[in-house]
Structure 1
Amino acid sequence: MLLIGGPVLASAGLLDSGGLRAAAQWLPVCAVAALINSAAEEFLFRHGINAVTAPLLGRTELIALTTLYFGITHLNGTPGGITGVLLGGGFGLVLAIAVAQTRGFCWNWPLHFAADLVIFSLGVAIAA
């Protein structure tokens, strides 16, 4: 994602060498924040809901529920509004399918961590 997102942002004038240096300096902080955020959101949005509602819902309904919930909670995120809901919901769908396929934490958490690391790092780079 950095290999694609970095050049796209650089070509749009949103990222320069100073921003890349700032992102590199803040990478450990971004990594810890991404680790904590991704674990918390996965437990809250997927594993917690799955534990309670899996006996009551089918697989498709459970995926739809967690996807919708994840998308709606990103209404006030960055980006916010309908864009945040659609992006969050789309990524939530990928994560929900990963949970359904593996019945565990081994794919959705690393995917979520990687996405958060890129988002946090690019946020630092753009702000610099």
Structure 2
Amino acid sequence: MRVKQIADALDISVDTVRYYTRIGLLVPNRSHNGYKYYRPADVTRLRFILSARSLGFSVNDIKEILVTSSQTNAPCPTVRRVIEKRLKETEQRYQDMHELRERMRLATSEWQNKPDQPPTADTICHLIEGFTALKS
């Protein structure tokens, strides 16, 4: 398969295929004229990469999993460890975003009836600099 064919088969862009090839997650065969040809095993590998990415695995995580599996070791312990780490990180980001949303709501409410003011020698925007939630 050529780049376009593998991209079409997996409903992704050719740039995505080229990216994973460029960083070494896919290693296609090369013909005598320099064209890259992807085997059915590459389709399987790319499908795995896409699935792992959809679960939040980083490129480095995927490299680690692929190295483990290429040594005929079960990558499942690595997968479990990494997904637990990613889940904790995601939960923390979620909490941080929730707190940010609440600060934004508070700011919107607090600023609703405040007048516009030009900058002064001491302030750039009195709304932000005077926001009470930042002082806590």
Larger RCO of the pair (alpha carbons < 8 Å, separation 6+): 1
Q: Which structure has the highest helix share of the two?
A: 1
Which of 1 and 2 has greater Rg?
Answer: 2
TM-score (norm 1): 0.28
TM-score with structure 2 length normalisation?
Answer: 0.27
